[in-house]
Protein backbone atom coordinates (compact mmCIF):
# COMPACT_ATOMS: atom_id res chain seq x y z
CA UNK A 1 0.00 0.00 0.00
CA UNK A 2 1.24 3.48 -0.91
CA UNK A 3 -0.04 6.36 1.15
CA UNK A 4 0.19 10.03 0.27
CA UNK A 5 0.23 12.08 3.45
CA UNK A 6 -0.01 15.87 3.22
CA UNK A 7 1.27 18.13 5.98
CA UNK A 8 3.32 15.28 7.44
CA UNK A 9 6.01 17.58 8.83
CA UNK A 10 3.57 19.13 11.27
CA UNK A 11 2.49 17.87 14.68
CA UNK A 12 -0.20 15.26 14.00
CA UNK A 13 1.03 14.32 10.52
CA UNK A 14 4.52 13.45 11.78
CA UNK A 15 3.09 11.39 14.65
CA UNK A 16 0.80 9.62 12.18
CA UNK A 17 3.60 8.79 9.73
CA UNK A 18 5.78 7.35 12.48
CA UNK A 19 2.82 5.36 13.87
CA UNK A 20 1.94 3.98 10.45
CA UNK A 21 5.40 2.94 9.35
CA UNK A 22 5.96 1.27 12.71
CA UNK A 23 2.72 -0.72 12.61
CA UNK A 24 2.54 -1.58 8.89
CA UNK A 25 5.84 -2.92 7.52
CA UNK A 26 4.41 -3.20 4.00
CA UNK A 27 3.21 0.39 3.73
CA UNK A 28 5.26 3.13 2.10
CA UNK A 29 4.52 6.81 2.58
CA UNK A 30 5.05 9.91 0.48
CA UNK A 31 4.88 13.05 2.57
CA UNK A 32 4.06 16.28 0.74
CA UNK A 33 4.61 19.32 2.89
CA UNK A 34 5.05 22.98 2.05
CA UNK A 35 7.22 23.53 5.13
CA UNK A 36 5.46 26.60 6.44
CA UNK A 37 6.58 27.95 9.83
CA UNK A 38 4.81 24.92 11.37
CA UNK A 39 6.44 22.29 9.17
CA UNK A 40 9.65 20.89 10.62
CA UNK A 41 11.85 18.33 8.89
CA UNK A 42 13.33 17.43 12.26
CA UNK A 43 9.99 15.92 13.27
CA UNK A 44 10.78 12.96 11.02
CA UNK A 45 14.58 13.09 10.80
CA UNK A 46 14.79 9.56 12.23
CA UNK A 47 13.02 8.28 9.08
CA UNK A 48 15.14 10.08 6.51
CA UNK A 49 16.99 6.87 5.53
CA UNK A 50 13.94 4.62 5.48
CA UNK A 51 13.25 3.18 2.01
CA UNK A 52 9.54 3.30 2.89
CA UNK A 53 9.47 7.05 3.52
CA UNK A 54 9.80 9.74 0.88
CA UNK A 55 9.57 13.49 1.49
CA UNK A 56 8.56 15.99 -1.18
CA UNK A 57 8.42 19.71 -0.55
CA UNK A 58 5.20 20.84 -2.20
CA UNK A 59 1.99 22.79 -1.87
CA UNK A 60 -1.36 20.96 -1.96
CA UNK A 61 -2.79 23.96 -3.80
CA UNK A 62 -0.70 23.05 -6.87
CA UNK A 63 -3.28 20.74 -8.46
CA UNK A 64 -1.21 19.74 -11.50
CA UNK A 65 1.75 18.75 -9.35
CA UNK A 66 -0.51 16.76 -7.04
CA UNK A 67 -2.07 14.98 -10.02
CA UNK A 68 1.35 14.09 -11.38
CA UNK A 69 2.29 12.60 -8.00
CA UNK A 70 -0.93 10.66 -7.68
CA UNK A 71 -0.59 9.17 -11.18
CA UNK A 72 2.65 7.53 -10.09
CA UNK A 73 0.51 5.21 -7.95
CA UNK A 74 -1.13 6.06 -4.67
CA UNK A 75 -3.81 3.99 -2.88
CA UNK A 76 -4.95 6.55 -0.34
CA UNK A 77 -4.47 10.18 0.69
CA UNK A 78 -4.52 11.48 4.26
CA UNK A 79 -4.92 15.24 4.12
CA UNK A 80 -3.45 16.87 7.23
CA UNK A 81 -2.03 19.92 5.43
CA UNK A 82 -3.53 23.08 6.85
CA UNK A 83 -2.96 26.35 8.56
CA UNK A 84 -3.98 25.20 12.02
CA UNK A 85 -3.71 27.98 14.60
CA UNK A 86 -6.85 29.95 15.49
CA UNK A 87 -5.01 33.06 16.74
CA UNK A 88 -3.03 33.33 13.51
CA UNK A 89 -6.27 33.02 11.53
CA UNK A 90 -7.65 36.01 13.44
CA UNK A 91 -4.54 38.05 12.70
CA UNK A 92 -4.24 37.09 9.01
CA UNK A 93 -6.94 34.84 7.53
CA UNK A 94 -5.66 34.80 3.91
CA UNK A 95 -3.31 31.83 4.18
CA UNK A 96 -6.09 29.80 5.83
CA UNK A 97 -8.40 30.34 2.90
CA UNK A 98 -5.68 29.48 0.41
CA UNK A 99 -4.47 26.25 1.98
CA UNK A 100 -7.47 24.97 3.89
CA UNK A 101 -10.12 25.72 1.27
CA UNK A 102 -8.39 26.10 -2.06
CA UNK A 103 -5.69 23.53 -1.22
CA UNK A 104 -8.27 20.89 -0.33
CA UNK A 105 -10.21 21.72 -3.49
CA UNK A 106 -7.05 21.39 -5.61
CA UNK A 107 -6.25 18.02 -4.05
CA UNK A 108 -9.79 16.78 -4.67
CA UNK A 109 -9.53 17.94 -8.27
CA UNK A 110 -6.31 16.00 -8.69
CA UNK A 111 -8.04 12.87 -7.37
CA UNK A 112 -11.07 13.46 -9.60
CA UNK A 113 -8.86 13.70 -12.69
CA UNK A 114 -7.56 10.14 -12.21
CA UNK A 115 -10.94 8.71 -11.12
CA UNK A 116 -12.40 6.12 -11.77
CA UNK A 117 -9.28 4.56 -13.37
CA UNK A 118 -7.53 5.04 -10.05
CA UNK A 119 -9.76 4.76 -6.99
CA UNK A 120 -7.99 6.68 -4.23
CA UNK A 121 -9.41 6.75 -0.74
CA UNK A 122 -9.39 10.32 0.54
CA UNK A 123 -9.24 10.75 4.32
CA UNK A 124 -9.75 14.39 5.19
CA UNK A 125 -8.63 15.54 8.64
CA UNK A 126 -11.10 18.07 9.96
CA UNK A 127 -11.80 19.41 13.42
CA UNK A 128 -14.53 19.63 16.06
CA UNK A 129 -14.29 23.42 15.71
CA UNK A 130 -16.58 23.24 12.67
CA UNK A 131 -19.47 22.69 15.13
CA UNK A 132 -18.89 26.00 16.93
CA UNK A 133 -19.28 26.28 20.68
CA UNK A 134 -21.22 24.33 23.33
CA UNK A 135 -23.01 25.52 26.45
CA UNK A 136 -22.41 23.88 29.82
CA UNK A 137 -23.85 20.51 28.78
CA UNK A 138 -24.03 18.26 25.73
CA UNK A 139 -21.47 17.10 23.18
CA UNK A 140 -20.97 17.40 19.42
CA UNK A 141 -22.32 14.48 17.38
CA UNK A 142 -21.81 14.04 13.65
CA UNK A 143 -25.34 15.45 13.23
CA UNK A 144 -24.67 18.69 15.11
CA UNK A 145 -25.13 21.61 12.73
CA UNK A 146 -22.00 23.36 11.55
CA UNK A 147 -21.46 26.81 13.07
CA UNK A 148 -17.80 27.84 12.80
CA UNK A 149 -16.80 30.99 14.68
CA UNK A 150 -13.22 31.75 13.63
CA UNK A 151 -11.65 32.22 10.20
CA UNK A 152 -9.75 28.97 10.88
CA UNK A 153 -12.87 26.94 11.63
CA UNK A 154 -14.78 28.59 8.78
CA UNK A 155 -12.05 27.54 6.36
CA UNK A 156 -12.09 23.98 7.72
CA UNK A 157 -15.89 23.89 7.38
CA UNK A 158 -15.69 25.02 3.76
CA UNK A 159 -13.18 22.25 3.06
CA UNK A 160 -15.46 19.66 4.69
CA UNK A 161 -18.30 20.79 2.46
CA UNK A 162 -16.11 20.44 -0.61
CA UNK A 163 -15.08 16.91 0.39
CA UNK A 164 -18.72 16.04 0.95
CA UNK A 165 -19.69 17.44 -2.45
CA UNK A 166 -17.01 15.41 -4.25
CA UNK A 167 -18.38 12.25 -2.64
CA UNK A 168 -21.98 13.00 -3.59
CA UNK A 169 -21.32 14.48 -7.03
CA UNK A 170 -18.43 12.44 -8.38
CA UNK A 171 -18.50 9.38 -6.13
CA UNK A 172 -14.98 9.92 -4.82
CA UNK A 173 -14.36 7.59 -1.85
CA UNK A 174 -13.95 10.23 0.82
CA UNK A 175 -14.16 10.05 4.62
CA UNK A 176 -13.95 12.95 7.09
CA UNK A 177 -12.78 12.88 10.70
CA UNK A 178 -13.42 15.63 13.25
CA UNK A 179 -11.18 15.46 16.27
CA UNK A 180 -10.86 17.49 19.44
CA UNK A 181 -7.70 19.14 20.84
CA UNK A 182 -4.56 17.03 20.43
CA UNK A 183 -1.44 17.22 22.58
CA UNK A 184 1.79 15.25 22.75
CA UNK A 185 5.32 15.21 21.27
CA UNK A 186 6.29 17.57 18.43
CA UNK A 187 3.45 20.06 18.90
CA UNK A 188 4.43 23.56 17.84
CA UNK A 189 4.77 25.77 20.95
CA UNK A 190 2.12 28.28 19.85
CA UNK A 191 -0.64 25.87 21.02
CA UNK A 192 -1.80 25.95 24.65
CA UNK A 193 -0.06 22.90 26.14
CA UNK A 194 3.41 23.15 24.54
CA UNK A 195 3.37 26.92 25.00
CA UNK A 196 2.63 26.59 28.70
CA UNK A 197 5.04 23.71 29.26
CA UNK A 198 7.95 25.44 27.53
CA UNK A 199 7.19 28.85 29.09
CA UNK A 200 7.00 27.30 32.56
CA UNK A 201 10.30 25.52 32.00
CA UNK A 202 11.82 28.92 31.20
CA UNK A 203 10.08 30.60 34.18
CA UNK A 204 8.11 32.79 31.75
CA UNK A 205 4.50 33.88 32.17
CA UNK A 206 1.66 31.61 31.05
CA UNK A 207 -0.83 33.83 29.15
CA UNK A 208 -4.38 32.81 30.08
CA UNK A 209 -7.15 34.14 27.82
CA UNK A 210 -10.21 35.64 29.51
CA UNK A 211 -11.31 33.95 32.73
CA UNK A 212 -9.47 30.68 31.94
CA UNK A 213 -12.72 28.71 32.26
CA UNK A 214 -12.88 27.76 28.58
CA UNK A 215 -13.08 24.00 28.11
CA UNK A 216 -11.38 21.75 25.59
CA UNK A 217 -11.58 17.96 25.25
CA UNK A 218 -7.95 16.80 25.22
CA UNK A 219 -6.80 13.76 23.27
CA UNK A 220 -3.30 12.31 23.29
CA UNK A 221 -2.01 12.39 19.72
CA UNK A 222 -1.30 8.66 19.53
CA UNK A 223 -4.94 7.89 20.32
CA UNK A 224 -5.90 10.17 17.43
CA UNK A 225 -3.46 8.36 15.10
CA UNK A 226 -4.96 5.00 16.05
CA UNK A 227 -8.45 6.33 15.29
CA UNK A 228 -7.31 7.64 11.91
CA UNK A 229 -5.78 4.28 11.11
CA UNK A 230 -9.11 2.58 11.78
CA UNK A 231 -11.11 5.12 9.79
CA UNK A 232 -8.67 4.89 6.89
CA UNK A 233 -9.02 1.11 6.76
CA UNK A 234 -12.64 0.54 7.76
CA UNK A 235 -14.54 3.84 7.80
CA UNK A 236 -17.57 3.99 5.53
CA UNK A 237 -17.27 6.14 2.40
CA UNK A 238 -19.09 9.46 2.53
CA UNK A 239 -19.24 9.38 6.33
CA UNK A 240 -18.00 11.68 9.09
CA UNK A 241 -16.43 10.29 12.28
CA UNK A 242 -15.99 12.34 15.45
CA UNK A 243 -12.91 11.55 17.53
CA UNK A 244 -12.52 12.71 21.13
CA UNK A 245 -10.43 12.14 24.20
CA UNK A 246 -13.19 12.05 26.81
CA UNK A 247 -11.03 14.46 28.83
CA UNK A 248 -12.72 17.82 29.26
CA UNK A 249 -10.58 20.26 31.21
CA UNK A 250 -10.64 24.03 31.74
CA UNK A 251 -7.60 25.90 30.48
CA UNK A 252 -6.87 27.01 34.04
CA UNK A 253 -6.83 23.38 35.21
CA UNK A 254 -4.43 22.49 32.38
CA UNK A 255 -2.06 25.36 33.26
CA UNK A 256 -2.08 24.51 36.97
CA UNK A 257 -1.49 20.81 36.25
CA UNK A 258 1.57 21.73 34.20
CA UNK A 259 2.95 24.10 36.84
CA UNK A 260 2.40 21.57 39.62
CA UNK A 261 4.20 18.84 37.70
CA UNK A 262 7.13 21.13 36.98
CA UNK A 263 7.25 22.42 40.56
CA UNK A 264 6.57 26.02 39.44
CA UNK A 265 4.30 28.59 41.18
CA UNK A 266 0.77 29.31 39.98
CA UNK A 267 1.75 32.99 40.06
CA UNK A 268 3.33 32.43 36.62
CA UNK A 269 -0.21 32.49 35.20
CA UNK A 270 -1.04 35.91 33.74
CA UNK A 271 -4.64 36.64 32.76
CA UNK A 272 -4.67 38.46 29.42
CA UNK A 273 -7.28 39.86 27.03
CA UNK A 274 -9.55 37.20 25.59
CA UNK A 275 -9.42 35.75 22.06
CA UNK A 276 -12.13 37.40 19.90
CA UNK A 277 -14.98 34.98 19.14
CA UNK A 278 -13.52 32.49 21.64
CA UNK A 279 -15.49 29.20 21.68
CA UNK A 280 -16.47 28.48 25.28
CA UNK A 281 -16.57 24.70 25.34
CA UNK A 282 -15.90 21.69 23.09
CA UNK A 283 -16.92 18.12 23.93
CA UNK A 284 -17.12 15.15 21.62
CA UNK A 285 -19.60 12.33 21.41
CA UNK A 286 -17.45 9.60 19.88
CA UNK A 287 -20.08 6.83 20.08
CA UNK A 288 -20.20 6.39 16.28
CA UNK A 289 -16.54 5.46 15.85
CA UNK A 290 -16.77 3.32 18.99
CA UNK A 291 -19.84 1.48 17.73
CA UNK A 292 -18.74 1.04 14.11
CA UNK A 293 -14.98 0.61 14.42
CA UNK A 294 -14.47 -0.32 18.06
CA UNK A 295 -12.21 2.68 18.79
CA UNK A 296 -11.97 4.40 22.18
CA UNK A 297 -9.25 6.64 23.62
CA UNK A 298 -6.81 4.81 25.90
CA UNK A 299 -4.54 7.52 27.34
CA UNK A 300 -5.92 9.49 30.30
CA UNK A 301 -5.19 13.20 30.57
CA UNK A 302 -2.96 12.55 33.59
CA UNK A 303 -0.89 9.93 31.73
CA UNK A 304 -0.75 12.00 28.56
CA UNK A 305 0.29 15.24 30.24
CA UNK A 306 3.07 13.44 32.14
CA UNK A 307 4.37 11.89 28.91
CA UNK A 308 4.12 15.21 27.09
CA UNK A 309 5.96 17.17 29.78
CA UNK A 310 8.66 14.52 29.83
CA UNK A 311 9.05 14.80 26.05
CA UNK A 312 9.46 18.59 26.21
CA UNK A 313 11.94 18.18 29.06
CA UNK A 314 14.04 15.73 27.08
CA UNK A 315 13.75 17.65 23.78
CA UNK A 316 14.68 21.17 24.85
CA UNK A 317 16.79 21.64 21.72
CA UNK A 318 13.76 20.97 19.52
CA UNK A 319 11.59 23.75 20.97
CA UNK A 320 14.41 26.17 21.84
CA UNK A 321 15.31 26.24 18.15
CA UNK A 322 11.71 27.05 17.24
CA UNK A 323 11.41 29.81 19.83
CA UNK A 324 13.61 32.18 17.84
CA UNK A 325 13.17 34.47 14.79
CA UNK A 326 9.63 34.40 13.38
CA UNK A 327 8.30 32.83 16.57
CA UNK A 328 9.56 35.68 18.75
CA UNK A 329 8.01 38.27 16.42
CA UNK A 330 4.73 36.37 16.52
CA UNK A 331 4.89 36.07 20.31
CA UNK A 332 5.47 39.80 20.72
CA UNK A 333 2.60 40.69 18.41
CA UNK A 334 0.29 38.24 20.15
CA UNK A 335 1.13 38.79 23.80
CA UNK A 336 3.16 41.93 24.48
CA UNK A 337 0.38 44.49 24.96
CA UNK A 338 -2.41 42.09 25.66
Residues serving a catalytic function are 128-129, 152
DSSP symbols for 137-150: S--B-TTSPP---S
For the chain, first and last CA: distance in Å? 49
Report 67-106 residues binding ligand NAD (CB under 6 A): 80-84, 99, 103
Q: Least distance from C-beta 334 to ligand DAU, angstroms?
A: 8
Report 233-262 residues binding ligand DAU (CB under 6 A): 251
- Which ranges of 62-150 does DSSP label H, i.e. alpha helix? 63-71, 86-91, 94-96, 104-114
Contacts of residue 134, defined as CB under 8 A and 6 or more positions apart, other chains included, come to 140, 280, 281, 282, 283
Write each residue from 179 to 218 as x if it is in contact with ligand NAD (CB under 6 A), else as -, in one continuous string.
Answer: x-xx-----x------------------------------
Nearest to 17 by CA among 104, 61, 78, 97: 78
Q: Least distance from C-beta 194 to ligand NAD, angstroms?
A: 10
Nearest to 132 by CA among 114, 118, 145: 145
Distance CA 295, CA 222 (A): 12
Q: Least distance from C-beta 122 to ligand NAD, angstroms?
A: 14
- The interface partner of residue 207, options being ligand DAU, ligand NAD, none and the CB cut-off 5 to 8 Å by kind, is ligand DAU
Q: Angle at which helices 63-71 and 104-114 pack, to 10 degrees?
A: 40
Residue 221 contacts ligand DAU per CB under 6 A: no
Which of 33, 160, 229, 248 is the binder for ligand NAD (CB under 6 A)? 33
Which of 4, 13, 150, 220 is the binder for ligand NAD (CB under 6 A)? 13
Q: Using CB under 6 A as the criterion, which residues of the chain lie in contact with ligand NAD when the complex forms?
A: 6-7, 9-13, 32-36, 38-39, 59-61, 80-84, 99, 103, 125, 127, 156, 179, 181-182, 188
Amino acid sequence: MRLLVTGGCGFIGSNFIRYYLKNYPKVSIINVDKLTYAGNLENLSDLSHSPRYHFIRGDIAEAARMEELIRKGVDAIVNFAAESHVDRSIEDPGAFMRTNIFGTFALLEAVRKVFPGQKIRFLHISTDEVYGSLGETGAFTEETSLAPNSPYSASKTAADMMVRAYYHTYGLPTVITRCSNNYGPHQFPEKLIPLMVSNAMEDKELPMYGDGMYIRDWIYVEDHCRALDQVLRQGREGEVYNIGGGSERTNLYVAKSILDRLGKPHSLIRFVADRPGHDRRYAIDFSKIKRELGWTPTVSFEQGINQTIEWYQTHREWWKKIKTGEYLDYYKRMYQDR
